[in-house]
Chains A and B, each alone.
Chain A
Amino acid sequence: MLLNKHGETAENENIIIKDVDGLTLHDDQILPYAYWLTQKAEIKQKLNRVSIWLDSHDDIEALSDDLSSIDLIALNFPKFGDGRAFTMAHLLQDKFGFKGEIRAIGHPIADQAQFLFRCGVDSIDIPAAQDPAIWVKEATRMSRFYQRSAENITANSKY
């Protein structure tokens, strides 16, 4: 199940690929970053829609030249306490001007949903076995903020 910043849910059509052995490329796959780095040309040629996922220790700077050919970047939470994805989302959006979709995957918790959206994440892949209703609630928990959100949006923010 996917969640967006308005607290709406949608079916998740994507498959996160961890193991690339014998892989046949497909538009709905989210490919590992390392695979993308080595197979760029082939992937670009074969796919209409390119999606890759990054782990929290991956170097997003190295991605900056490729961003125009990528449609979706998923940021993995190996565990929820690893907060690098917040900054990675910000940098993708604000520093590199990434126009595609930014998604959080892995093990975030519902209480992080709104923070993620405010940092520029567009969708969250709600971990299986969790009640989407809680995520929906937490996505719009606060309506008062001391900071501007991604893209400098001032709605509901104090300054």
Chain B
Amino acid sequence: MSLQQSIQQAAQKEYSPTAPAIAPKNVQMYKYDQFDDEFITQRIDQLRSQINRRLAGELSEDEFKPLRLQNGVYLQLHAYMLRLAIPYGQLNSTQMRALAYIARKYDKGFGHFTTRQNIQYNWPALSDIPEILEDLQKVEMHAIQTSGNCIRNTTSDPFAGAAADELTDPRPWCEIIRQWSTLHPEFAFLPRKFKIAVNAAEQDRAAILYHDVALQIIENDQGEMGFKVYVGGGQGRTPVIAKLVREFLEPQYLLSYLDAILRTYNMLGRRDNLYKARIKITVNETGVEEFSRLVELEWNRIKDTGFNLPEEQKQTIFKHFELPEFELHQYDAEKFESKKLKNNGFDYFVKNNTFAHKQDGYTIVSISLKPHGGIPGDISADQMDLVAQLADDYSLSEIRATHRQNLVLPHVKLDDLFILWQKLTKAKLAAGNIGLLTDIIACPGLDYCALANARSIPIAQMIAEHFDDMKKLNDLGDITLNISGCINACAHHHVANIGILGVDKKGEESYQVTLGGSSRSDADIGKIVGPGFSGDEIVGAIETITNVYLAGRTNNDETFLAYYRRAGQTPFKEALYNVA
């Protein structure tokens, strides 16, 4: 069957999650047992009864709102929005097909991948949501704690379990955290939302230092594995880099240590001011030494009597993530190189969209959801079906979502890469721009979001359309550009090399530019370069900024961020505002 036919068939097929079109192979991910399934059933029943109580007037909107939020239900400008959890960003092909099915049946045929490795639907009716959740349950997914003042979906490295540069696979730990945090009775009404991220790789691909708790898996001098624990990172109106509170936490104490952090925060966190309620403010106001002293005090009380996952049950969870059987195969390097020479597009794709796999002969492939002029993070139901098919054919049925709003096929044989690229090209999913200027993170902004000051998506599209020369983009190299529609910073504009923030200037949409942020291990917060720009001026401003860099860099190896750190804001200010 040709690719075209298979897309058409997937699109026409009345796909139902009860009868998966193609059952996924034995994907290495956490699989629900009966307990998990019954838990979800009860939780959906609860939400259904909460919706009924709201409709009967037994719950006020004030009371209902936090309850619906804890099930991922927001109210936006045009409709409700439902955010589904993709635990630590991992999906199998059946789940992806179910997402496509939901997009068609309850939405307008598309979904939006977020910076927290989740997916959002923009058009469901409140009355449909229990049914959507029941469909999801069939493929072992849920929307629990994807919003609200509780512990949110744990995020991690999208390349986890595949990356050559990882110390160990962080996913089992994420799963342990997911279960511990799910309806944790003590921490469902925290002062504010609480996000945990885990990384085990050299590179930080999950922006962990901007989370309330960041866990970096390390090895100590004795070769034992443990966690380096940071607390109090976050974005929003006050971006803060998380601070180190513990150099080395023995893994068996992970849950009691988290309990101690959360308990301390639940008591100390401010409840008088929503904007000062995150743990980043608690840590700043209490002082990191005092805060960690209190955590250690509580932890020492509970570390042996409180709950830590028993070793045997830990092993059970780890078993779900045992690495797949990779095929040992002869990959034809010569043929591969000649394909790159003949195809510019393939060459860029290989250069930007692939990453070293731990298994020889395999690679990790990023699928950019930032096609030319597209909407960052948006994907149509047909494209979802196609990605599911490609995952079945070329990536052991596995898919990941990234915090930069892209998708990943984590286990692709190098020999399959060219044909995969060809198939992606036909579906307009082969943009080779991962890590380049047009790999933009954009929040929904004023097009959807009730809190927005300005639109984000059209700005992203205009920038992507302006910078459409792959050669120039590659010349500009490694640059991050993020656009948020208001100070809540959903798109992480503070930590982009070039950040754009939508503000309201006397009723007009206006865009403020920050420079020099970074969300990697060299984390930094961008600084405002000067007065904002109108929607008509912003593309020109970005062009000016990139030209300053191109003209000023010492050589091609000096990245935008490195240049900025050397040269400072002055050359950019001079060029943008014509100041001498």
Direct touch of chains A and B (CB < 8 A):
yes
Contact among A80, A84, A147, A152 with B266 in the assembled complex (CB-CB below 8 Å): A84
Task: Give A147 Cβ to nearest chain B Cβ, in Å.
Answer: 6
Name which of B49, B184, B186, B190 has the most chain A CB atoms within 10 A of its CB: B186
Instruction: Write the chain B residue with the least CB distance to A80.
Output: B63
CB neighbours (8 Å) of B250 from chain A are none
**Is A86 a contact of B189 with CB atoms below 8 Å?**
yes
Instruction: Write the chain A residue with the least CB distance to B34.
Output: A144
A112 to B307, CA, bound (A): 22
Contact among B58, B182, B302, B305 with A146 in the assembled complex (CB-CB below 8 Å): B182
Q: Which of B39-47, B336-344, B389-397, B436-444 contacts A (4 or more CB under 8 A)?
A: B39-47
B-contact bits for A122-159, CB 8 A (1 contact / 0 none): 00000000010010010001111111110010000011
Contact among B50, B182, B189, B309 with A83 in the assembled complex (CB-CB below 8 Å): B189
Q: A80-B63, A90-B186, A144-B39 are in contact. Are A159 and B46 (CB under 8 A)?
A: no
Task: Give B93 Cβ to nearest chain A Cβ, in Å.
Answer: 27
A88 to B267, CA, bound (A): 8
A-contact bits for B42-81, CB 8 A (1 contact / 0 none): 1101100110010000110001001100000000000000
Task: Give B264 Cβ to nearest chain A Cβ, in Å.
Answer: 9
**Is A87 a contact of B263 with CB atoms below 8 Å?**
yes
Q: How many A-B residue pairs have CB under 8 A?
A: 93
Instruction: Write the chain A residue with the least CB distance to B266.
Output: A87
**Is B42 a contact of A144 with CB atoms below 8 Å?**
yes
**Is B185 a contact of A82 with CB atoms below 8 Å?**
no
**Is B189 a contact of A80 with CB atoms below 8 Å?**
yes
**Is B271 a contact of A141 with CB atoms below 8 Å?**
no
A148 to B59, CA, bound (A): 29
Task: Give A50 Cβ to nearest chain B Cβ, in Å.
Answer: 24
Q: Is the C-beta of A81 less than 8 angstroms from some C-beta in chain B? A: yes
**Is B309 a contact of A112 with CB atoms below 8 Å?**
no
Q: A87-B267, A109-B63 are in contact. Are A141 and B186 (CB under 8 A)?
A: no
Q: Is the C-beta of B106 less than 8 angstroms from some C-beta in chain A? A: no
Q: How large is the interface on B (under 10, 10 to 19, 20 to 34, 35 or more residues)?
A: 35 or more
Contact among B58, B179, B305 with A158 in the assembled complex (CB-CB below 8 Å): B179
CB neighbours (8 Å) of A152 from chain B are 305, 307
**Is A146 a contact of B180 with CB atoms below 8 Å?**
yes
CB neighbours (8 Å) of B263 from chain A are 87, 90-91
CB contacts under 8 Å to A, within B281-334, are: 301-302, 305-307, 309-310, 313
**Is A111 a contact of B180 with CB atoms below 8 Å?**
no
CB neighbours (8 Å) of B184 from chain A are 146-147
Q: Is the C-beta of B188 less than 8 angstroms from some C-beta in chain A? A: yes
Q: Is the C-beta of A114 less than 8 angstroms from some C-beta in chain B? A: yes
**Is A141 a contact of B46 with CB atoms below 8 Å?**
yes
CB contacts under 8 Å to B, within A32-87, are: 56, 80-84, 86-87
Q: Is the C-beta of A119 less than 8 angstroms from some C-beta in chain B? A: yes
Task: Give A58 Cβ to nearest chain B Cβ, in Å.
Answer: 11
Q: Is the C-beta of A118 less than 8 angstroms from some C-beta in chain B? A: yes
Q: A84-B266, A86-B189 are in contact. Are A145 and B183 (CB under 8 A)?
A: yes
Name which of A116, A145, A148 has the most chain B CB atoms within 10 A of its CB: A145
Q: Is the C-beta of A99 less than 8 angstroms from some C-beta in chain B? A: no
**Is B149 a contact of A81 with CB atoms below 8 Å?**
yes
A90 to B184, CA, bound (A): 12
Q: Is the C-beta of B123 less than 8 angstroms from some C-beta in chain A? A: no
A86 to B42, CA, bound (A): 22
A157 to B166, CA, bound (A): 33
CB neighbours (8 Å) of B66 from chain A are 81
Q: Is the C-beta of A18 less than 8 angstroms from some C-beta in chain B? A: no
A146 to B183, CA, bound (A): 8
A141 to B41, CA, bound (A): 11
Q: Is the C-beta of A6 less than 8 angstroms from some C-beta in chain B? A: no
**Is A83 a contact of B188 with CB atoms below 8 Å?**
yes
Contact among A82, A87, A111 with B271 in the assembled complex (CB-CB below 8 Å): A82
Instruction: Write the chain A residue with the least CB distance to B43.
Output: A142
Q: Is the C-beta of B475 less than 8 angstroms from some C-beta in chain A? A: no
CB neighbours (8 Å) of A149 from chain B are 185
Q: A83-B266, A109-B63 are in contact. Are A148 and B307 (CB under 8 A)?
A: yes
CB neighbours (8 Å) of A146 from chain B are 39, 179-180, 182-184
Contacts beyond the supplied A84-B271, A112-B188: 20 A-B pairs with Cβ under 8 Å = A82-B189, A83-B190, A83-B191, A83-B266, A86-B185, A86-B186, A86-B187, A87-B263, A88-B267, A91-B263, A114-B185, A115-B186, A137-B49, A141-B42, A146-B179, A147-B184, A147-B185, A147-B307, A152-B305, A159-B310
Can you pick out 22 interface pairs between chain A and chain B where the beta carbons lie within 8 Å of each other?
A80-B63, A83-B189, A83-B191, A84-B266, A86-B186, A86-B187, A86-B188, A86-B189, A87-B263, A109-B63, A114-B185, A119-B185, A119-B186, A141-B45, A143-B38, A144-B39, A144-B42, A146-B179, A146-B180, A147-B183, A159-B309, A159-B313
Q: Which 10 A-B residue pairs are closest in the complex by CB-CB distance?
A: A83-B189, A118-B185, A115-B185, A144-B39, A86-B186, A146-B179, A87-B266, A142-B42, A146-B182, A144-B38
